[in-house]
Amino acid sequence: MTPKLSETENAARRIRQQIVSVAHHAPSDGVHISPALSMVDILSVLYGVVMRYDAKDITSAHRDVFILSKGHAALGLYATLCEFGIMTLEQLNTFELNGSVLQVHPTKHPEYGIDFSGGSLAQGLSFATGLALGRRLKGEIWHTYALVGDGECNEGAIWECAFMAAHLNVDNLTLIVDRNGLQSDGHTADVMRMDLEALWRACHWETIVCDGHDLQALTKAFAMPHNGKPKVIIADTVKGKGVSMMENNKEFHRNRISAQQLSDALAELNGGTSC
């Protein structure tokens, strides 16, 4: 592993630690923990290796943009923005407090690095496509990235936008599908059986499948050419990745963490040592 990817691996570990810590202290009756954990490696590679931006000038128009469509996983985005210096730890720790801009679903606050208000699923891809089209019309070099969940792909709005983006050859757009195999109602294959790779290819997107926890594979996937088309990376992930009690456990789609569970999770994420 290169030094850059080694740094990114450490960043991913710290992001997971922040997710479980902030979730434990959140004042609500539950936090979407495992959907946030599954996408951490994807976001770590995006913000640590791939995207072009200045953390000290995050509202500049001259940067790549990330749009989180699976908004219930917002805590994963917030922790990532903190790790890469876009928001402070003090700001992160206001998650779900009264008056905080960091709520259960993201609300647009560019000064925090949040460029899209999410809530209803499947809206982020259309927003990202419009943003990418606008940038292309202006002749700008900046790229737009968006992330959806595999359960979110049940929504018809995803496919309406997919056909349009391909028809218009929006090749400055990259979509990541966080394919963790679980959604709020159970296994995605049981809720609605979908061959995502075949579907995206049928929509005429440049389609890549990779291990969503392999930093080298993710970096390679992001670097692969668009060939004049929008690109989708179907990243195979584990829901709750990094905390064994949460992995592939539907109970942590939205739940609270006890003090003991927090201690166990932090110890595991710290390599088994006492925290």
Q: Where are the alpha helices (DSSP H) in the chain?
A: 3-25, 34-38, 40-45, 74-83, 89-92, 124-137, 156-167, 188-191, 196-202, 215-223, 259-269
What would the two tokens of residue 189 be?
């294959």
Question: What are the backbone dihedrals phi and psi of residue 61, each rounded to the nearest 5 degrees, phi first?
Answer: -75, -15
The whole-number pLDDT of residue 274 equals: 34
What pTM value is reported for the model? 0.96
Q: What is the Cα–Cα distance from 63 to 42, expressed in whole angstroms?
A: 19
Q: What is the Cα–Cα distance from 184 to 67, expressed in whole angstroms?
A: 21
The whole-number pLDDT of residue 2 equals: 83
Q: Taking the mean position of all CA atoms in its chain, how far away is CA 52?
A: 17
Please name the residues in contact with 259: beta carbons below 8 A apart, sequence gap of 6 or more: 24
The whole-number pLDDT of residue 273 equals: 43
Q: Are 64 and 145 in contact (CB under 8 A)?
A: yes
What would the two tokens of residue 3 be?
């030094």
The whole-number pLDDT of residue 275 equals: 29
112-80-77 Cα angle (round to 5): 70
Counted residue by residue, the chain has a size of 275
| Ranges in the chain, pLDDT < 70 | 272-275
Reading phi first (left if > 0) and then psi (alpha if -120 to 50, else beta), residue 233 is in beta
Nearest CA to 55 among 135, 111, 116, 9? 111
Domains of the chain listed by start with CATH number: 3-269 (3.40.50.970)
> 14-35: per-residue pLDDT in tens?
999 999 999 999 998 899 999 9
The whole-number pLDDT of residue 1 equals: 73
Nearest CA to 21 among 186, 235, 239, 242? 242
The whole-number pLDDT of residue 272 equals: 58
